């Protein structure tokens, strides 16, 4: 896994959730796809769970994430760096984490995984299953023939929040998560990476500016946040990999400030 663009872990977790990253929800013996997870200011996590295929006649106890049950949410902090389709405007994988069936799908040389967010807690509220048309982010329908899917809205009171990365496991308290800000640039990180990596020479210029030799390597930008960029300098034959941190001169709060920083770095 690549290094996380340096920022407080609580902010990283909240940003991952805010960008609508999908994953799974496990309650008892059941494991269902998670469509989105958002953090309220009181620390409660609002989940949108896919309950398609479960009997609507079943009692509430048999349904996913019933009130009073314990549940665990798992979300992989991953983005597509844009190498699979260049500057294509859409991700190469569906919102539920399925790989695209297209031959130019995202692979290990494109996908950037930093860590895994795990949230365990008690479900304090849950809605009835609601029918929704699910659309994959690659433009295809989520069900055969455009079938409708069932969504359920649940509120999870977190008891344990962890972030697993190459550096180990960080524990985040509910109060830290509630108080953390969402990185305004990191929340749109995938769009930024696709755009920046569409310029095949930008990563190389940034690596050279940072004092790295790039002969025989294939540099690419693998992270961006309000405080800077991460550039991976990878040997074409494999075996060598370095993550170069390229900091901004100050914290960026919007796209315009990022554009100014990029102009300065590229000059």
CATH number at residue 218: 3.20.180.10
Q: What is the mean pLDDT of residues 183-204?
A: 88
Looking at the structure of the chain, the number of domains it has is 2
159 and 35 housed in the same domain? yes
> What do you get for the CA distance between the two ends of the chain, in Å?
31
> What average pLDDT does the chain have?
78
60 and 112 housed in the same domain? yes
* pLDDT band at 96; cut points 50, 70, 90: very low
pLDDT of residue 134: 45
User: What is the CATH classification number for the domain harbouring 65?
Assistant: 2.30.110
217 and 137 housed in the same domain? no
Q: Could you tell me how many helices (H) and strands (E) the chain has, helices first? A: 5, 11
Residue 192 lies in a domain: no
Between CA 201 and CA 210, with CA 206 as vertex, the angle to 5 degrees is 145
Q: At 257, phi and psi to the nearest 5?
A: -70, -35
207 and 97 housed in the same domain? no
103 and 48 housed in the same domain? yes
pLDDT of residue 233: 86
Residue 208 lies in a domain: yes
36 and 113 housed in the same domain? yes
Residue 186 lies in a domain: no
260 and 149 housed in the same domain? no
Residue 185 lies in a domain: no
94 and 31 housed in the same domain? yes
Model's pTM, two decimal places?
0.76
Dihedral sign for Cα atoms in the order 246, 248, 253, 255: negative
114 and 64 housed in the same domain? yes
Residue 130 lies in a domain: yes
Residue range(s) defining the domain that contains residue 259: 199-266
Cα separation, 193 vs 215, in Å, equals 23
208 and 100 housed in the same domain? no
Pick the more confident residue, 150 or 165.
165
* pLDDT band at 97; cut points 50, 70, 90: very low
pLDDT tens profile 62-78: 456 678 889 999 998 88
Count of CB atoms situated within 10 Å of the CB of 2? 20
Residue 67 lies in a domain: yes
Q: At 255, phi and psi to the nearest 5?
A: -65, -35
146: left (phi over 0), alpha (psi -120 to 50) or beta: left
Residue 1 lies in a domain: no
């Amino acid at each position: 896994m690549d290094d996380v663009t340096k920022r407080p872990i609580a902010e990283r977790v909240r940003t991952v959730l805010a960008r609508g990253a999908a994953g799974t929800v496990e309650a008892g013996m059941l494991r269902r796809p998670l469509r989105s997870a958002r953090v309220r200011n009181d620390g409660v996590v609002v989940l949108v769970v896919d309950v398609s295929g479960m009997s609507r006649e079943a009692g509430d106890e048999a349904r996913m994430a019933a009130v009073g049950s314990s549940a665990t949410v798992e979300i992989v902090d991953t983005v597509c760096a844009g190498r699979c389709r260049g500057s294509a405007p859409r991700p190469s994988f569906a919102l539920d984490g399925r790989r695209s069936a297209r031959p130019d799908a995202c692979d290990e040389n494109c996908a950037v995984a930093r860590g895994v967010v795990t949230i365990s807690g008690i479900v304090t509220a849950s809605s009835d299953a609601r029918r929704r048309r699910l659309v994959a982010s690659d433009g295809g329908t989520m069900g055969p023939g455009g079938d409708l899917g069932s969504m359920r809205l649940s509120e999870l009171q977190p008891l344990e929040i962890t972030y697993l990365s190459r550096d180990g496991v960080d524990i985040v308290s509910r109060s830290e998560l509630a108080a953390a800000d969402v990185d305004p640039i990191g929340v749109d990180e995938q769009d930024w990476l696709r755009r920046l990596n569409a310029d095949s020479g930008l990563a190389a210029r940034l690596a050279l500016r940072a004092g790295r030799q790039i002969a025989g390597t294939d540099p690419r930008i693998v992270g961006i946040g309000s405080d800077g960029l991460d550039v991976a300098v990878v040997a074409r034959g494999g075996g060598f990999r370095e993550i170069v941190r390229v900091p901004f001169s100050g914290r960026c709060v919007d796209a315009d400030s990022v554009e100014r920083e990029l102009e300065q770095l590229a000059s």
